[in-house]
Amino acid sequence: MAADSRFYDVETGREMQLQLQRFGAEFQILRRFGYRDPSYNEPFVVPADIEHFRTDLASIPWFFAWLVPGLGTHLPAVLLHDGLVVAKGDAKTHLGPDVDREEADRILRDAMGSLGTPVIRRWLIWTAVILATCWSTLRPRWYWPPLVLATFTTVTVLGVLATLDLLGVWDVLPWMGDASLGVELLGGAIFALIIPLLISLLWGRLWRAGALAGIALAFLLHVTVAVIVVYGIYWVAEQIASPKGTGPDVRQNLERMAASG
């Protein structure tokens, strides 16, 4: 753990000791830990109830696991975030100041920094969680979910059109033109930056999330599609090879095992 980490062990006040025990597809935190955020006088302690709190660790979509692993230096910050975020109407699962989901996302990002998580990785993780917050929580509801959808749709459509233009299938984007491969690649890369930055102006205070989401999607679109294709082949093979009642989804396998005793 980084020397300047803000995390600490609640029982001793010293360096955090992360102790987990698996319960089916989830984990129980066996030892409380605290986090001191500079914006608050009182620390955050997770979990409030050791006996009943469960976490699924970092919920990274499988098609991005190659870029942002579920385990790593960021794990304590992810567990802190799990303790700070609760569904509407549910009781708090942490001890300390009350925070809304957007603030919990900010705390996650800064906490990862105190753990030494690389800059790009922690901003990508923050972007992923703030997008989920925009989709499910932020108000006005008529604005944020459509904005997320419009951002992803626009960047995806333009990415597909740019690819078709690059392959000479359909010359439709003016910035690609009818030029050499190198010039078209450069034009595509430049506008893969410019367009998300322009769209991010609609995101207001969360413009960084809009810009990062759009740029990441623009540059990783083809890689992600390739990963999905490869995983699809693996998924089919695993379904054929796996014994009855199991499959490629580890979580479902564990849940079935727990249910069967």
Cα atoms in the 13 Å half-sphere on the side-chain side of 219: 14
93-118: average pLDDT: 95
Q: What are the pLDDT digits (tens) for 189-239?
A: 899 999 999 999 999 999 999 999 999 999 888 777 887 788 888 888 888
- Whether 102 shows a pLDDT value over 90: the answer reads yes
142-162: average pLDDT: 94
Least confident residue range of 24-28, 42-46, 110-114: 24-28
- pTM attached to this predicted model: 0.85
- Whether 143 shows a pLDDT value over 90: the answer reads yes
How big is the CA angle at 61 (ends 132 and 97), to the nearest 5 degrees? 40
- Whether 3 shows a pLDDT value over 50: the answer reads no
* DSSP H or E stretch at residue 192: helix 181-199
Cα atoms in the 13 Å half-sphere on the side-chain side of 204: 8
| 92 neighbors 86 (Cβ within 8 angstroms) | yes
The gap between the terminal CA atoms of the chain, to the nearest Å, is 37
| 32 neighbors 47 (Cβ within 8 angstroms) | yes
